[in-house]
Structure 1
Amino acid sequence: MDTPLEDLVKEWLRLDPNESTRKDVEQLWHNNAIDELERRMRTRIEFGTAGLRGKMEAGWSRMNDLIVIQASQGLCAYVLEHVKNAATRGVVVGHDHRHNSEKWAQLTAAAFIANDVKVYLHKGLVHTPLVPFSVKALNAACGVMITASHNPKQDNGYKVYWENAVQIIGPHDVGIAQSILQNLEPRVHDASQIVESGMCIDCTEEMKRGYFVSLSHLRTAALSFSGGSVAFVNTSMHGVGGPFASKAFEIAGFPPFTPVKEQQHPDPEFPTVKFPNPEEKGALDLAITTANAKGASYVLAQDPDADRFSAAENCDGKWVTFTGDQLGTLFAYHVFETYKTSGKPIGKHGDIPLRACLKLPLGKLAMVASTVSSKMIEAIAQTEGFRFVDCLTGFKFIGNTALDLVKAGYEVPFGYEEAIGYMFGSDIRDKDGVAATMVFAQLAASLRARGTTVTVHLQELYRRYGYFETSNSYFICTDPLVTETIFRKIRSSDVMGSSQGRSYPSSIGGLRIQSVVDLTEGHGYDSTNAPTYQPKLPLSLGHMIQFRAFSDSAGTDDSRIVLTIRTSGTEPKIKYYLEGSGSNRQAVHSLLGRVVDDLAEDWMNAAENGLGRP
């Protein structure tokens, strides 16, 4: 039986220590704003593998002081129970520039200190990668970063790193969520504990110095040029990345880049962009305008908390923005080429030898990407002889997969996901937009020294390993029942996998489907893994199915596709990730259009089901 709304409101008013948000709820109740109160009060904001993220307002389903205090109390109790010597090892807490970020970092610290847990509270604005770096460097029990990354200005979030300095995965997400529900009564009401206690330690500058030393290990060993022949413009999207990116350029030996002045300094209002996400259409317009005025060849961009990276190149007067997969391919080949010439993985350069500089066998080099990312790295790995491993979407999986490979004896100097997230070296097993900025600038400068460009270099890689093109998008579906109907239909089509009682589509876009991997909980199936047919990857709570298909017609057409369709955990969307590959660029491009048409018309019944398109 649902709890009466009045009881939810009364409980909020009893617990909320913030006068402003308490008055907000009182006013809504006084005005009989039932619909608004139902939206804010009926469900509790969910703690998951990404921690918490949502709109900053009063209510159980929003981000506010009370939710942060409760989350911190639950996290603290869980960490004390599950991490050895957690109280003395301490926790790392950092924050970005968003509204409430500093206060919520202090409330988080206060909740841990109230339980006699040492806190390393970063002073001032830091970028997200500094928190996992600090967790590892300090051997802390966990880390918390207050940020909403590239979300709109109304949002904020609470990102959690485990003692291995990687974002949490199951079972910890479920365990922490349960612990929060067991620790709802606020034991702190303000941040006074961090002022009065000697258990709050500031080692921010020490950690920054260590972080910049780790960046120096990403310097290309053979870098003997200043980079002065290449002009760069950089935007930090009104975020915290500017000073970190500037220092990275200095470490690489480059002259300063030209900042986009309108977006250079932290501003929680994000006045020049609706969505402060370098991937969004138009997000780089100001940067490109600045680059044109300065005669720069490249635009570099970090998202507001500087853990993601994007780039664009001026190609004979036309600006081309690289996709996340293209950047991933460029970075992967750069990492491979660096190892091949030096015998050491990127991230182990500088003055620190790797196992006394003994060259590791190429077969012990490994790279990781999410399963919805391009398969071009897979093609490079098959040709060049290193190992490639894919995993579920998100750096919580990429980072943990990398650590598992290290335990198995591999060096894992690179990992990425198509949503412009890139991991370099061994010091941070998470995405780092500043490291990506530095590596891309070095790549561009080294190519210029060889008389070529990043775009031309990418085309050379296509010629060598095959042409790869992606077409990622989504369908908007606001009715969960329609979503269930669509996926039920996909699982009852034709005869693919019928020997296991499964029936998936047998063709799409004129190609024959070769394999199906269903990673949906309750439907786990991998047509390539006989006799068990169990997926090698973990299962997902939402729907997620991947298809591989190829042309079986006689002739020279070697086109093939990888298509992944999945539901979003945070939005009313059915997302698809489609990549085509083959030796004929035009054939691949045409194929993608046919596949999208079949997906929309036959698989999704988009018109009949009323699905929206971007």
Structure 2
Amino acid sequence: RLAKLTAAVMLSRDVPVHLFSSVVPTPYVPFAVRKLGAAAGVMITASHNPKEDNGYKVYWCNGAQISSPHDKEVLRCIEEHLEPWSASCWDQDLVDGSSLRTDPLIHINSCYMDELASLCFHRSLNSSCPLKFVHSSFHGVGHSFVQEAFQVFGFAPPIPVPEQKDPDPNFSSVRCPNPEEGESVLELSLLLAERENARVVLATDPDADRLAVAERGDRCGWKVFTGNELAALLGWWMLFNWKENHPDPADTQRVYMLATSVSSKILRALARAEGFHFEETLPGFKWIGNRIHDLSKTGNQVIFAFEESIGFLCGSMVPEKDGVSAAVVVAEMAAYLQNQNLSLNQQLHNIYTTYGYHLSKTSYVTCNDPPTIQRIFSRIRNFEGDGLYPKVCGGLCVIHVRDVTTGYDSSHADLRSVLPVLRNSQMITFTLQNGVVATLRTSGTEPKIKYYAEFCAAPGQSDVRRLEEELQGVTAALLNEFLQPDKNHLII
């Protein structure tokens, strides 16, 4: 209904509209924007949130989510037109009767699957793969699209979780339809996988733009990969296949991988060792999507991008995270590794052994008082005196500070951050002498202060337990020394 209302508003002003006749994954809209040469795109989706929280995602003509100045201009137009033009702009009969309305579903799905085939590197191996895969679409839109993607790659279809196969706005079988929550929300998928003797579980979130993966081990039950761990695997995989198809080392000079600034730095370690380019963006895939567009204009190619909240983009066929393509790419990677007598988890440790262990910890505190949040971050910015940031965290020297809110970055000679300044939010990153990178940031949608910490160890540092203990110590210091939960009445 909301999609039809959006279309009706456009049609009432004689603007041609491509309206999908059925639900589609979120990445289909930005893909269609670019393929059809549209001026903009709108995706109505609540994702894993309750149906009352339907969101309205807007994409620019480059296929990426809108950013400045377009987001500010949209807001200005809303504020200047708080009353509808007329009752006719809500007339849904326009959608059914207008010659300006077309249905792009069949064409766009065909184009998407054709381009998806470019990410398939081992089709003959896929067709003989002994592995079984279970897929849950979490009561969302992903089922038929993931099934077709597997067919494109030459796989037998994945086994669907029947209770979660079809769209259901009530999310009847899960307490929280967010696969990022891990094993607790994957219960039906894991039970089905055990019954079917399937080793890999793939779970797309309700709008199919994110992906969770679990793998059954030989002796230790199920391993549910974090977003950062999956990114290490997918980054390695995309680079491995790129190099297989581009043996000239000079070609690597135009290859990029991207990640948001609160995500793992594992791609940075790969880039330093393998010679491609790695860049960080601000949190949110809109920044990645727009950077992909900018890089493509100068002849560069982004072969992988991600954010830690299980959002992945393999290749750059769409400037948005894409759970459908990520699911089938993970399946092909698992099939290839199976042929090498390796599991996904074993290969993850091979990557860490080669490029250095990257161990992450992410959590948050709740603060329902905005002035308290302001005081916390003001104190950090004046920790050692007026305008002086902390020099020590948990007994370790702070060697760099980046403050996106003010545009400060001590790692650069001009003390300016290369990331865009975000004055309406709080975000400070600390780099410590032992290799830990820690970030404090406010949530854009909830009364939370999130904290992210990662131990970026050098190759050869393989005492994982010691690394985890050091990371835990830094995380505790970050919380107690900088956020002061007791004094500030924060909810942990």
Using structure 1 for the length normalisation, give the TM-score.
0.77
Amino acid at match of 2:81: N
- 1:603 has 2:486 as partner: no
1:136 to 21, 28, 34: 34
What do residues 284-315 of structure 1 show as CA deviations (whole Å, max 9, x unaligned)? 11111111111110110000010001100101
Per-residue deviation, 1:228? 3.3
What do residues 476-497 of structure 1 show as CA deviations (whole Å, max 9, x unaligned)? 11111111111111111237xx
- Work out the CA distance in 2 between the residues paired with 1:437 and 1:223: 18
Kindly indicate whether the alpha-carbon contact (under 8 Å) linking 1:223 and 1:446 is maintained by their aligned counterparts in 2: no
- Work out the CA distance in 2 between the residues paired with 1:526 and 1:502: 13
Per-residue deviation, 1:185? 2.5
- Work out the CA distance in 1 between the residues paired with 2:250 and 2:35: 25
What do residues 56-102 of structure 1 show as CA deviations (whole Å, max 9, x unaligned)? xxxxxxxxxxxxxxxxxxxxxxxxxxxxxxxxxxxxxxxxxxxxxxx
Kindly indicate whether the alpha-carbon contact (under 8 Å) linking 2:126 and 2:332 is maintained by their aligned counterparts in 1: no
> Higher RCO, 1 or 2 (CA under 8 Å, sep at least 6)?
2
**Percent of aligned positions that are identical:** 41
- Work out the CA distance in 1 between the residues paired with 2:90 and 2:130: 56
- Work out the CA distance in 1 between the residues paired with 2:67 and 2:32: 19
Per-residue deviation, 1:222? 6.7
Q: How does 1:7-156 map to 2 (within 5 A)?
A: 103-156=1-54
- Work out the CA distance in 2 between the residues paired with 1:478 and 1:227: 55
Instruction: Give 1:159's aligned residue.
Output: 57
Comparing 333-342 with 152-161, greater Cα deviation is found at 152-161
Instruction: Give 1:175's aligned residue.
Output: 73
Instruction: Give 2:307's aligned residue.
Output: 417
- 1:266 has 2:266 as partner: no
Amino acid at match of 2:99: G
Instruction: Give 1:548's aligned residue.
Output: 431
Instruction: Give 1:329's aligned residue.
Output: 232
Which protein has the larger Cα radius of gyration, Structure 1 or Structure 2?
Answer: 1
Kindly indicate whether the alpha-carbon contact (under 8 Å) linking 2:239 and 2:303 is maintained by their aligned counterparts in 1: no
Q: Relative to structure 1, is the Cα distance of residues 222 and 116 closer, same or farther in structure 2, using a 3 angstrom cutoff?
A: closer
- Work out the CA distance in 2 between the residues paired with 1:280 and 1:258: 21
Q: How many residues align?
A: 482
Per-residue deviation, 1:223? 4.5
- 1:517 has 2:402 as partner: yes
Instruction: Give 2:296's aligned residue.
Output: 406
Kindly indicate whether the alpha-carbon contact (under 8 Å) linking 2:126 and 2:153 is maintained by their aligned counterparts in 1: no
Kindly indicate whether the alpha-carbon contact (under 8 Å) linking 2:393 and 2:481 is maintained by their aligned counterparts in 1: no
- 1:438 has 2:328 as partner: yes
1:537 to 412, 419, 433: 419
- Work out the CA distance in 2 between the residues paired with 1:390 and 1:597: 26
Partner of 1:609: helix, strand, or coil? coil
- 1:230 has 2:131 as partner: yes
- 1:577 has 2:452 as partner: yes
- Work out the CA distance in 2 between the residues paired with 1:438 and 1:446: 12
- 1:220 has 2:220 as partner: no
1:587 to 466, 477, 482: 466
- Work out the CA distance in 2 between the residues paired with 1:601 and 1:163: 45
- 1:527 has 2:414 as partner: no
Partner of 2:215: helix, strand, or coil? strand
Partner of 1:220: helix, strand, or coil? coil
- Work out the CA distance in 1 between the residues paired with 2:281 and 2:218: 38
Partner of 2:90: helix, strand, or coil? coil
Partner of 1:580: helix, strand, or coil? strand
What do residues 375-404 of structure 1 show as CA deviations (whole Å, max 9, x unaligned)? 011011001100000010111100111122
Kindly indicate whether the alpha-carbon contact (under 8 Å) linking 1:475 and 1:611 is maintained by their aligned counterparts in 2: yes
Per-residue deviation, 1:360? 5.9
- 1:308 has 2:187 as partner: no
- 1:456 has 2:346 as partner: yes
What do residues 333-355 of structure 1 show as CA deviations (whole Å, max 9, x unaligned)? 111100111119xxxxxxxxxxx
Give structure 2 stretches of 5+ with no counterpart.
Answer: none
Per-residue deviation, 1:142? 0.4
What do residues 398-438 of structure 1 show as CA deviations (whole Å, max 9, x unaligned)? 01111222223311121110011111223201100000001
Kindly indicate whether the alpha-carbon contact (under 8 Å) linking 1:312 and 1:320 is maintained by their aligned counterparts in 2: yes
Per-residue deviation, 1:578? 0.8
Per-residue deviation, 1:184? 2.6
Instruction: Give 1:36's aligned residue.
Output: none
Partner of 2:486: helix, strand, or coil? helix
Amino acid at match of 1:106: K
- 1:566 has 2:441 as partner: yes
Using structure 2 for the length normalisation, give the TM-score.
0.95
1:391 to 262, 265, 281: 281
- 1:276 has 2:174 as partner: no
How well do the aligned residues superpose, as a CA RMSD in angstroms? 1.5
Partner of 2:179: helix, strand, or coil? coil
